[in-house]
């Protein structure tokens, strides 16, 4: 028996608009026409405008007074900054997780790790990414810090548009798997400091993939590549 969810219209609209942005149906910098979005969702302007305010405070859209909403433009610097921040948060989650996780929790993550290795061996990229995501999510959950979780998820939403699977070379992939091997060792040893450091480095490696190892400039706009 699932709980009845009184979902307000503005939440629904916010979620669906987030998806539109994530999937590139609303491209970065594009002006969002209230009227048009209202028609596509079949709602009036009131809940739509409320949703836009929420998305703005989440950093996904930009509200220009009397000039409407725009999908937030991502610059390379913003992505770097966000990754630095997410690195710190992942680091913290690793430290906290080591303190709080149960033995069963560690076993569960190890099993996910084995699954992930299997996908790596078979070069199944999408399943690999999915299990990878689950591992990071499990560590975050084990940290038992809802504020951290909320903030991390918000940040990851901002950079979700930046897909890096196409730029994921064999070398980078190998590095990522290597990072994960070390993570498991640290987690089993409940070495929080170490796990935290590995997670931070791991995210730096991801950033390298995204920014093509620093070939492009800080203020350059990220073009939304949908992988």
Q: Among residue numbers 116 through 175, which ones bind a second copy (CB under 8 A)?
A: 145-148, 150-151, 155
Q: Nearest distance from residue 71's CB to DNA, in Å?
A: 13
| C-alpha separations of 48 from 5, 54, 64, 155, 196 in Å | 20, 10, 16, 22, 40
- Neighbour tally for 219: CB within 10 Å: 9
Q: Please choose, out of 19-27, 30-38, 86-94, 165-173, the segment that lies near a second copy by the rule CB under 8 A.
A: 86-94
* 103 interacts with a second copy by CB under 8 A: no
C-alpha–C-alpha distance, residues 27 and 54, integer Å:
18
Structure tokens at 148: 């951290």
For a second copy, the closer of residues 82 and 211 by Cβ is 82
Total of chain residues touching a second copy, rule CB under 8 A: 34
| C-alpha separations of 111 from 41, 49, 107, 184, 187 in Å | 42, 45, 6, 10, 13
Using DSSP's 3-state secondary structure scheme, residue 216 falls into coil
Q: Nearest distance from residue 34's CB to DNA, in Å?
A: 4
The residues that touch a second copy, with contacts defined as CB under 8 A, are 6-8, 10, 46, 49-50, 53-54, 56-59, 63, 65-66, 78, 81-82, 84-85, 87-89, 91-92, 96, 145-148, 150-151, 155
Residues interacting with DNA, by CB under 7 A?
6, 8-10, 31-35, 43-47, 49, 63, 65-69
């Amino acid at each position: 028996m699932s709980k009845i969810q009184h979902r307000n219209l503005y939440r629904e609209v916010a979620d669906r608009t987030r998806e539109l942005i994530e999937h590139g149906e609303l491209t970065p910098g594009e002006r969002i026409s209230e009227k048009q979005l209202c028609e596509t969702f079949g709602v009036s302007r009131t809940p739509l405008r409320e949703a836009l305010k929420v998305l703005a405070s989440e950093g996904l859209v930009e509200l220009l007074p009397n000039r409407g909403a725009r999908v937030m433009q991502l610059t390379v610097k913003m992505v770097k900054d966000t990754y630095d921040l997410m690195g710190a948060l992942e680091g913290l989650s690793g430290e906290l997780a080591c303190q709080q996780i149960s033995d069963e929790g560690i076993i569960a993550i190890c099993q996910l790790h084995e699954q992930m290795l299997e996908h790596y061996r078979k070069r199944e990229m999408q399943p690999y990414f999915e299990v990878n995501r689950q591992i990071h999510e499990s560590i975050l959950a084990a940290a038992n810090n809802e504020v951290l979780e909320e903030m991390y998820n918000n940040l990851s939403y901002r950079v979700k548009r930046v897909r890096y699977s196409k730029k994921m070379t064999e070398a980078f992939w190998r590095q990522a798997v290597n990072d994960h091997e070390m993570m498991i060792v640290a987690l089993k040893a409940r070495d929080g400091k170490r796990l935290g450091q590995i997670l931070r480095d791991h995210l730096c490696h991801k950033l390298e993939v995204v920014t093509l190892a620093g070939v492009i400039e800080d203020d350059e706009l990220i073009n939304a590549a949908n992988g």
